[in-house]
Amino acid sequence: MFYRWNGLEFARIDGDLKYQKFDLGSSPVTLAIFNLSDGAFDFSLTNPKIEHTIVNSFGFSANMGMDSMYYEDLSGIKIDDIKYDSTGLSPKIAPFYFPSIQQPINAFDSATTIIFMDNTNSSISSLINATPKTIISKPFVEINPDPTASNNNYILSSSKISVSTEITLPLVGYAKGWVMQDTIPFNAKVDELFSSETSIDSAIIKFTTTNYFPLDVKIDLILLDSTGLNPIDTIASR
């Protein structure tokens, strides 16, 4: 005899679900820090964090991991793998597992599990720099991996697992060789104000700057000719 359960409606299912694995698809994240700067520079953050918040309302715990996790340049060429180990003792490339996703204590409740990757358990600090790149990750979820164990599971019609990911980049690190520049038109128009015989003994150029970065900044003021291409002199040089 043969049965099909397609389109089955239910309120709750109880039983031993045994081993199941669910691929969550590919999730690319592009990192392009300071990509509008005029000059290339050496920039690194010492304590970045990738945090996964998982909310589970199924009646079983689960294991989440990565089938692959690496980063590539913006043209799609792989640069390196991201290594991870929950204890931080022996990080390795994917596939790897995160700590277990907890199950709710009571039906119709949910359990929240926070899983993080930082410089204590992974190699992500090496990829957080000024070079634009894309992180490629292929996560999966597994339940009941031990085929010999007996499990008491339940699924409600409203059960779900949701995963949200946040990348935190606290500005603790270093930056050097960072060059930002702009051109400001300046024309004293001396000939329009005085005769052609007028000479100027001295002049004051005053600039007021406001710096919101926690960095020391040095400024060069370069005077250009009327074409805006050829330097005439440098003032306020660092």
For 212-221, write each residue's pLDDT tens digit: 766 677 777 7
171-209 pLDDT tens trace: 666 666 666 667 777 666 655 555 566 666 777 777 777
26 has a pLDDT exceeding 50:
yes
Residue labelled with tokens 């790149």: 133
Q: Is the pLDDT of residue 145 over 70?
A: yes
Rounded to the nearest 10°, the torsion over CA 211, 212, 213, 219 is: -10
| pLDDT confidence of residue 1 | 44
When the pLDDT of each residue in the chain is averaged and rounded to a whole number, the result is 81
Between the ranges 2-16, 81-95, 115-129, 160-174, where is the mean pLDDT highest? 81-95
Tokens linked to 49? 């964090």
Hey, which of 24-28, 126-130, 148-152, 174-178 has the most confident mean pLDDT? 148-152
Q: Who's near 77: CB < 8 A, 6+ residues apart?
A: none
The arithmetic mean of pLDDT across residues 107-116, rounded, is 93
β-strand partners of 54: 113, 163
Q: What's the chain look like in SS3?
A: CCCCCCCCCCCEEEECCCCEEEECCCEEEEECCCCCCCCCCEEEECCCEEEEEEEECCECCEEEEEEEEEEECCCCCEEEECCECCCCCCCECCCEECCCECCCCCCCCCEEEEEEECCCCECHHHCCECCCEEEEEEEEEEECCCCCCCCCEEEECCCCEEEEEEEECCCCEEEECCCCCCCCCCCCCHHHHCCCCCCCCCCCCCCCCCCCCCCCCCCCEEEECCCCCCEEEEECCC
The reported pTM is 0.63
Q: Which residue has the higher pLDDT, 208 or 62?
A: 62
Is residue 138 within 8 Å of residue 68, measured between CB atoms?
Answer: yes
Q: Which single residue is written with the structure tokens 């698809």?
A: 25
CA angle 30, 31, 33 (to 5 degrees): 145
